[in-house]
Structure 1
Amino acid sequence: MLNVVIVDDEPIIRLGIKASIEWERLSLRFAGEYANGAEALNALRETPADILITDIKMPLMDGLELTRQAKALRPSTKVILISSYNDFDYVRQGIVLGAKDYILKATMEPEELNRIIGGCVEAIREETETAHKLDLYRKGEDMLSRRQLEQDMRRLLAQEQEGLEREFAVRFEAGYLLVRAALDRLDDLLQQYGQLHVGLLMDDLKDVFYRQCPDGIGFVSGEGELLLLLDRRSASAGRVAQLKEKLELESGVSLSVGYMERRSPGSWSASCEWTRQVYDRRFFDGAGGIHAGDQAEVGKGREDGDQERIGSHVDESGLRIPEWLRKWERMKYDMKRVKREASDLFSRLFVRRLEPALLLAYYQQFMKAETLPELGELLENGMRDGEQLPHVERTSVSQLIIHKAMAYIRERYTQELTLQMVADHVHISRNYFSVLFKKQTQLNFIDYIIQLRIAKAKELLGDRSAKVYEVAELTGFNDVKYFSKLFKKMTGSTPVDYRDNGTAETGSESHG
């Protein structure tokens, strides 16, 4: 609603104007009445008016000076002058100052007053709509420019190109900081919320980055990973720490960060490659850290690639995970080798018990471990699962388990349903069911549930009278805003547009 202020030194005029205005029809709110311009101006400094109706001749401050100062406070304010027959010279001055219209006191009628006020309301609406369109246009232009910069940054970091090098050398002539921010506990997030949720989360993190660093460049460089480029003149180690804190605070997640500082532009690919060491550092030092680049450390602590693997003489019957964890702890800066060792040990134990596809699924789990303790936990879980299986895991047995699980899921997917609940139903461990489900469906459990729920939502939205919040509840989503974001991410259309049009805006599904 629009605020209306009335100013006149005659109480009866103020009363008559207030009584004549069609407040509800015009969507107006009475914001105060004053006997002179000085009182009105003090009030306008606290709460600016959308429409100001003022007499011209008043004590202390006349209507012309009030118009000038009110427009200075808020140029969009619409001023309607109230004049006498002999005030036409003043009216002309008021129009020059930006008054919208005028009313003669002697002939003022409610119809005329509401017609003039209605014109002000329409003008405000048109200006608001134009400003909104202009804002969208500018944002669109900024977005296109930003996307081009992000694409150029991708190409530059992948392989230096002469044209781009010159462009970025000018943009970052004082040097730069290249920051890699990686989500901690990514696999847990994927298992609990799904890939779509993580994708939305990364988009939100990028938005936070641009709000904090509007002159920076950033893009989602991998699953759960951001690459951010900052001008060295406005960035430092302290700035990286502040940015990390802000990203974590607004997203509710933990991040591990690695960054490389360069005092002059260049060496883009080398800097990008170095920031990958954040994963090695996190693996041995723990999640949530900030790791500064040091070229001298590249390659430090790595073992000779031809050296015999420490697991080659393992006695399979005597494997003790804590012992291997201590040995791996001493192999710092060689995360990949440690993971290969763990995979070899597990494979050697269960190569005759598990089918190759299932062994591969466990291998993929080990390779995604973010920290050494997490790798140890995955290895222990895998061993426990493997020892409970028959000596040969037949494909038909796996398919039978998943078939039973699918039937259970389809009966209950619109209700609260967890991985543990389904694993209990088919009488296997949560970890083993997760591996088996991913192997059979190529999807995480929660992503499969979300696909079912969105498909059901599309079916329900076929009824154009369906309320979006009702569809969200009926398909198992407790948060209608989150449901809407997921729905648009999967279909390219909001639930409202899908319900009204019966089809996605883009004509095809979007998973970008």
Structure 2
Amino acid sequence: MYRVLIVDDEPIISSGIHSFIDWEKEGMSAEEDCANGEEALAALETSPFDILITDIKMPLLNGIELVRQALARYPSLKVILISNYSDFEYVKEGLKLGAVDYLLKLTLNRDDLLAVLKRCISMLEEERRKDDEQVRFREDALYRTRKSVEQEIKRVIAQEQLSLSSAAWAPAWLEKRYICAYLMLDGAEEWANNHGYLNLLMLLEDLQESFYAELSEGAAMPVSENGIFLLFPDPDGEEENLLQQWKRTAEAQWGISISAGFVIEQGAGRILDGFFCSREACQRRFFEGKGGLYRARGSEEAGERTLTEPEGKRDWTPFYEIIRNGDPISIAADFAYEQWKSGEQTPEQVKHEACRLVSLICERHEGAGPLLPERLDLLRQAETLEQLQSELVILLEEIVKPVIPDLTNSGYSGQLIIKALNYITEHYTDNLTLQSVADIIHLNKSYFSLLFKKQTGRNFIDYLIELRIREAKRLLAQSESRIYDVAGAAGFKDVKYFSKMFKKTTGFTPVEYRDKHRPSGPPCS
């Protein structure tokens, strides 16, 4: 809809112009009139107009002066002059200033006015088409330049070197201060599961386009299935704020969380260092949490770029003892967390070590089934140390949970004992007795006792106590329940007997055990 401003100090002329044209049908609107040039300039300043129809002779500010000032301020404005025969000299001056045409008041009619208005619209459309073409041309040229720069940067990263002779492609801003930023989409695996990997790739492309729309200079390129590498000028040292602002806008627009690491570099020869430093800074999300903006600490941030086996550098004996003693798996996972939280290793090294620990426990633990590679993938996919710790607990609990002991005979008697063991495992916190379990498998109590020991290598009561002590350890380490309540929940009806048996089995009283494994918790009795 093209907006038309009518300026004439004679209301009858303004009314006539309004009545001549079906404005809406012709794609125009003429909702505002002015009586002189001063009112017209004020109206032009208030809101944009495309076409100005103005009388020449008016009080305060005449039409010629209005045209001169209006076109100086709004060069794209199209002007139609309304004049009398005696105004011809003024008409010539108005046409020189840039008016499209003039119409005589005495012969003014609908067809002539509409023809000039349509000519004005054609001129506006042609100018806008040319402006759009120029904008597209500039955008295409900028796009091609940016894509060319992207390819060269990718080549530098892939080859891990920058040939000085081939650095002619580098734009001028790369020779000054610039920011290297490595961005990782948090929860990318879950996002892909919910939306598909194709949509994940499209999301990275959307982030790239968003970056280009926000910054007139710079380069952005996806470098992994969930990562983007950005470079952009930092002439005033304020680009960190711009990065933070763009990150927040993108997170809000797409409902995502982004972790970002960045470093300030200067000169095209520092691109590779900037890439590795910003990537290592971004990986601090593994230790410090997702969604942060992490600045590289210095040249040492790039660190070791290849995975090294930390075997022998760390003493994992306490970890294995916790597992062997039947202590809660969470305690072993807490021990591992304390070894890793310093950040001395890269996230990949930590995850590699976690996989090795789980594999070794699986090999050593009697009765554990085969460890599927998919289960270790859960450790490798952990984005934070807390997530890795949680997955480690789940995996180890599956491996070292109470298992059916190896039996000496897998025949009929062995099947009876397996049935009994399964029942004990499910009900060991209940008031089980040798007789009650023997009744379950329909055997004489004495015969069941002999058969149980022959098949498992231990007697019924010792096996039952072992399961109950294991549950008591878990409750003591993971809850603030009173010792009396822990005893009952683990299947011990007498707290004194429980405390005595616990001390005999573990070497600690229940209170000492809790203090050892929950030092930050309040004392319980």
Per the normalisation by structure 2, the TM-score is 0.66
Distance 1:385 1:131, change over 3 A: farther
Partner of 1:344: 356
Which structure 2 residues correspond to residues 7-406 of structure 1 after superposition, within 5 A? 7-158=7-158, 159-165=161-167, 167-168=169-170, 171-235=173-237, 239-252=239-252, 253-263=256-266, 265-289=268-292, 290-299=294-303, 305-307=310-312, 314=320, 318=326, 320-331=329-340, 332-334=343-345, 335-348=347-360, 359-382=372-395
Distance 1:175 1:245, change over 3 A: closer
Distance 1:267 1:123, change over 3 A: closer
Deviation at 1:3, TM superposition (A): 0.7
Q: Tell me the amino acid that sits aligned with residue 378 of structure 2.
A: Q
Deviation at 1:43, TM superposition (A): 0.9
Deviation at 1:85, TM superposition (A): 1.5
Distance 1:235 1:216, change over 3 A: farther
Preserved contact between residue 156 and residue 165 of structure 1 (Cα < 8 Å): no
1:398-434, Cα deviation, whole Å (9 max, x unpaired) = xxxxxxxxxxxxxxxxxxxxxxxxxxxxxxxxxxxxx
Q: Tell me the amino acid that sits aligned with residue 190 of structure 1.
A: A
Partner of 1:466: none
1:247-280, Cα deviation, whole Å (9 max, x unpaired) = 2233323322222333555243233223221354
SS at match of 1:330: helix
Deviation at 1:288, TM superposition (A): 2.6
Preserved contact between residue 257 and residue 291 of structure 2 (Cα < 8 Å): yes
Which structure 2 residues correspond to residues 458-469 of structure 1 after superposition, within 5 A? none
Distance 1:78 1:175, change over 3 A: closer
SS at match of 1:257: strand
Q: Tell me the amino acid that sits aligned with residue 229 of structure 1.
A: L
Deviation at 1:104, TM superposition (A): 1.0
Preserved contact between residue 329 and residue 397 of structure 2 (Cα < 8 Å): no
Distance 1:83 1:184 in 2: 69
Q: Tell me the amino acid that sits aligned with residue 100 of structure 1.
A: V
Q: Tell me the amino acid that sits aligned with residue 307 of structure 1.
A: G
SS at match of 1:260: strand
Preserved contact between residue 215 and residue 230 of structure 1 (Cα < 8 Å): yes
1:468-500, Cα deviation, whole Å (9 max, x unpaired) = xxxxxxxxxxxxxxxxxxxxxxxxxxxxxxxxx
SS at match of 1:329: helix
Distance 1:95 1:249, change over 3 A: same
Which structure 2 residues correspond to residues 428-439 of structure 1 after superposition, within 5 A? none
1:165-206, Cα deviation, whole Å (9 max, x unpaired) = 355495433343322122222223222333233333323332
Preserved contact between residue 273 and residue 302 of structure 2 (Cα < 8 Å): no
SS at match of 1:276: helix
Q: Tell me the amino acid that sits aligned with residue 293 of structure 1.
A: R
Deviation at 1:349, TM superposition (A): 5.9
Distance 2:118 2:178 in 1: 55
Distance 2:133 2:387 in 1: 50
Q: Tell me the amino acid that sits aligned with residue 335 of structure 2.
A: R
Distance 2:34 2:123 in 1: 25
What runs of 5+ residues in structure 1 fail to find an aligned partner? 392-512
Deviation at 1:15, TM superposition (A): 0.7
Preserved contact between residue 330 and residue 393 of structure 2 (Cα < 8 Å): yes
SS at match of 2:106: helix
SS at match of 2:76: coil
Distance 1:380 1:306, change over 3 A: closer
1:52-105, Cα deviation, whole Å (9 max, x unpaired) = 111111111111111122212221111111111222222121111111111111
Deviation at 1:214, TM superposition (A): 2.1
Distance 1:354 1:138 in 2: 64
Q: Tell me the amino acid that sits aligned with residue 312 of structure 2.
A: Q
Deviation at 1:385, TM superposition (A): 7.3
Per the normalisation by structure 1, the TM-score is 0.67
How many aligned positions are there? 385
Q: Tell me the amino acid that sits aligned with residue 292 of structure 1.
A: A
SS at match of 2:382: coil
Partner of 1:440: none
Preserved contact between residue 218 and residue 227 of structure 1 (Cα < 8 Å): yes
SS at match of 1:261: strand
Quick one: higher RCO (CA 8 Å, sep 6+), 1 or 2? 1
Say which one has the larger Rg: 2
Deviation at 1:340, TM superposition (A): 1.7
Preserved contact between residue 157 and residue 272 of structure 2 (Cα < 8 Å): yes
User: What is the aligned-residue RMSD (CA, Å)?
Assistant: 3.1
1:419-461, Cα deviation, whole Å (9 max, x unpaired) = xxxxxxxxxxxxxxxxxxxxxxxxxxxxxxxxxxxxxxxxxxx
SS at match of 1:233: coil
Distance 1:144 1:261, change over 3 A: same
Q: Tell me the amino acid that sits aligned with residue 233 of structure 1.
A: P
Distance 1:345 1:100, change over 3 A: same
Distance 1:323 1:354, change over 3 A: closer
Preserved contact between residue 182 and residue 227 of structure 2 (Cα < 8 Å): yes
Partner of 1:415: none
Distance 1:222 1:234 in 2: 30
Preserved contact between residue 256 and residue 287 of structure 1 (Cα < 8 Å): yes
Distance 2:320 2:295 in 1: 34
Distance 1:193 1:271, change over 3 A: same
